[in-house]
Amino acid sequence: MLCVVIDQQALLLEDRVTPSPGPGHVLIATTASGINAADILQRRGHYPAPAGWPVDVPGLELAGHVVAVGPDVDPQWMGRHVCAIVGGGAQASHVLVPADHLLVVPEGVAAAEAGGFAEAFLTAYDALALQAQLRASERVLISGASGGVGTAAVQIARHLGAHVTAVTRSAHHGELRALGADEVCHPDQVSDVAPVDVVLELVGASNLQLVLGRLAPFARVVVIGLGGGNRLDLDLRILMATRATLTGSTLRSRSHEEKSALAQRVREELLPAWATGALRVMIAGTFPLTEPEAAYAFFAQPGKFGKVVLTQAAAP
Amino acid sequence: MLCVVIDQQALLLEDRVTPSPGPGHVLIATTASGINAADILQRRGHYPAPAGWPVDVPGLELAGHVVAVGPDVDPQWMGRHVCAIVGGGAQASHVLVPADHLLVVPEGVAAAEAGGFAEAFLTAYDALALQAQLRASERVLISGASGGVGTAAVQIARHLGAHVTAVTRSAHHGELRALGADEVCHPDQVSDVAPVDVVLELVGASNLQLVLGRLAPFARVVVIGLGGGNRLDLDLRILMATRATLTGSTLRSRSHEEKSALAQRVREELLPAWATGALRVMIAGTFPLTEPEAAYAFFAQPGKFGKVVLTQAAAP
């Protein structure tokens, strides 16, 4: 199988032996693999893969077709078009995935969109619905709204019935409104935003610093991205006055069981809306799996709208 | 009635007209009124009383006897020895209190202890049991453990079955162990503490800064005191790696209904243990209500163990 391999911060292509699925697993012939900020961190030597996952092949999400199943896995998975998050190794022609984590891609969804769904939508759904407990008619502020997770989060928040303020440095204000944002602003304008019940912080300390003065009583702040820095100057009086809670998480290091439970929630809560087109994966650009350096360079540029995805032709 | 009055940061004594209780209220002839850090802040012009409470009479807790009841209040309250939190005005010979907030003082409890119970124990119970959801056998770290809230919190945490680490700059290590602390340490030794599930931060940023590296997965940090500063240098990576949550609150500004609900929880969960002596109010010192300056000066000194309480003889 063909793999993108991190070798001293360079991205190489290697041909490796295609593995066979063990118990509970399937083998997927990949058609698309999204790029995430975690891949950039991993390439730089930070954020290593959790135990049990490929250590030098990046990639946390993929879509493709099931081409082999483990001894105890329902053979009806064979041939299905699926997507999933993985702990690493998604940027390869073949990937082993726990069957519990598979999401069936709705009919008619393009390969690139399927390859960019899992990490973005599971991350955003987990943060908004499960961690922040975002409820209908609450106000949510989403920073970094133009990115892969951001464009997913805007749609999910709207899907949950919230009032959505999308914050972006990009010019994609109209596109964010079209996705369901009620208002769109630059980070410098956050001080004019009405107090918010939930903050999904995808950029990090630089953005969150500006939002701290805009927390409504009992606000919930969930930090899941740190591209804009990790040191927050936090005035604890804000927490005492608002009774806000501040938390953070990553998806990658969670247990098999927790990922399974999250996948089940997403099957129930999001896949029907993905099937109707009410939720869509925004694609900023696609690159062949054989051109990872170009894809990563594009990913690193500001101003994109949506996901960057590595693609390859479906196996015959 | 005799009142302690804040006048341009001085504490004066004034004789004012004793009020009559309106609907839902009782009038208490005070025997004891605890001093809290909030009183010091209010004296300095910060932390004003919430709407509906005396603006210039300090004091958030008291004990005494019911001497009059409002038109719709059960007359059986008359003569009962009770304690309560109030939004302000407790440092006076007579205080109006909502009947919903009254706690019956167990037989045999001394007046000074009753006067120092409500704010400390409601605050600590709310933070530990309701906000942090502290569970049996979890590890809890309590900073500022020698103070009024701290000594209450150590006992409540032990009562809830937790493993208690008490942090204090004082020399009262033996006393804290006697109250139920499993270990006692100076703030400089926090880096040696095993990771904790719950932090009750009573001192503020200076202490919390030291604790941030000791958070267990899913730790809950509740900030309810800021004497040691309010600016926290928070590395957001800690929240993402541990999935800890950080929150804060004050009791004073809460709604009537929320205080009623908290009082009911404390009646059920703590009063039986107070009645048996399993929970006790530690008294660092008592002063006559007529000597508030001396009492506030004593309160401001470090190294005390427990509450400072203003007392007066019971009305005839």
Which chain A residue's Cα is nearest to B253? Answer: A241
Q: Chain A closest CA to B118's CA: distance in Å?
A: 20
- d(C-alpha A239, C-alpha A291), whole Å: 47
Chain A residues touching residue B231 (CB < 8 angstroms): 233-236
Token code pair at residue B169: 């700059």
Token code pair at residue A23: 């118990």
- A233/B226 Cβ within 8 A: no
- Express as a percent the part of chain B with pLDDT over 70: 99
Is the pLDDT score of B158 beyond 90? yes
Q: Which of A230, A237, A240 sits opposite B236 (nearest CB)?
A: A230
**Given this model, what pLDDT does residue A316 score?**
45
Q: For residue A154, what is the enclosing H or E element?
A: helix A148-159
| Contact call for residues B284 and B305 (beta carbons, < 8 A) | yes
- d(C-alpha B79, C-alpha B76), whole Å: 8
Residue A68: strand pairing partners: A27
Residues A72-92: tens digit of each pLDDT: 999 999 999 999 999 999 999
| Contact call for residues B21 and B27 (beta carbons, < 8 A) | yes
Helix axes B256-269, B118-125, angle to 10 degrees: 90
Q: Chain B closest CA to A184's CA: distance in Å?
A: 25
- d(C-alpha A207, C-alpha B114), whole Å: 47
Q: B2-117+252-311 and B120-248: same fold?
A: no
- d(C-alpha B293, C-alpha B288), whole Å: 10
Does CATH place domain B120-248 in 3.40.50.720?
A: yes
- d(C-alpha B47, C-alpha B267), whole Å: 28
Q: Is the dihedral of CA A259, A266, A225, B224 positive or negative?
A: negative
**Given this model, what pLDDT does residue B314 score?**
61
Domain ranges of chain B: 2-117+252-311, 120-248
| Contact call for residues A284 and A305 (beta carbons, < 8 A) | yes
**Given this model, what pLDDT does residue B260 score?**
96
Q: Chain A closest CA to B199's CA: distance in Å?
A: 14
Exposed e or buried b per residue across A135-168, where buried means at least 16 C-beta atoms within 10 angstroms of its C-beta? eeebbbbbbbbbbbbbbbbbbbbbbbebbbbbbb
Determine contact: A216 vs chain B, CB below 8 A.
Answer: no
- d(C-alpha A164, C-alpha A154), whole Å: 7
Is the pLDDT score of B209 beyond 60? yes
Is the pLDDT score of B131 beyond 70? yes
- d(C-alpha B120, C-alpha B146), whole Å: 12
Q: Which CATH superfamily is domain B2-117+252-311 in?
A: Medium-chain alcohol dehydrogenases, catalytic domain (3.90.180.10)
Residue A214: strand pairing partners: none
**Given this model, what pLDDT does residue B227 score?**
84
Residues A245-301: tens digit of each pLDDT: 999 999 888 999 999 999 999 999 999 999 999 999 999 999 999 999 999 999 999
Residues A39-73: tens digit of each pLDDT: 998 999 888 888 889 999 999 999 999 999 999 99
Q: Which of B237, B243, B245 sits opposite A230 (nearest CB)?
A: B237
Average pLDDT in chain B? 95
pTM, rounded to two decimals:
0.93
Closest CA to A304 of A122, A56, A120: A120
Determine contact: B233 vs chain A, CB below 8 A.
Answer: yes
CB-side neighbour CA atoms (13 Å) of A137: 0
| Contact call for residues B26 and B102 (beta carbons, < 8 A) | yes
Closest CA to B290 of B314, B307, B310: B310
Contacts of B210-214 with CB under 8 Å at 24 or more apart are: B211/B141, B211/B143, B212/B238, B213/B238, B214/B141, B214/B190
Residue B130 CB contacts under 8 Å (≥ 6 apart), including other chains: B262, B265
| Contact call for residues A148 and A120 (beta carbons, < 8 A) | yes
**Given this model, what pLDDT does residue B183 score?**
97
Chain B residues touching residue A236 (CB < 8 angstroms): 204-205, 208, 223, 226, 230-232, 248
Mean pLDDT of B215-231: 94
Residue from A149, A198, A218, A247 to probe the interface with B (highest B Cβ count within 10 Å): A247
- d(C-alpha A203, C-alpha A230), whole Å: 9
Residues A223-249: tens digit of each pLDDT: 999 888 999 999 999 999 999 999 999
Determine contact: B62 vs chain A, CB below 8 A.
Answer: no
**Given this model, what pLDDT does residue B50 score?**
86
**Given this model, what pLDDT does residue B252 score?**
86
Residue B36: strand pairing partners: none
Residue A5: strand pairing partners: A12
- Least confident residue range of A221-225, A311-315, B278-282: A311-315
- d(C-alpha A123, C-alpha B104), whole Å: 49
Is the pLDDT score of A315 beyond 80? no
| Contact call for residues B226 and B60 (beta carbons, < 8 A) | no
| Contact call for residues B204 and A236 (beta carbons, < 8 A) | yes
Residue type, A254: R
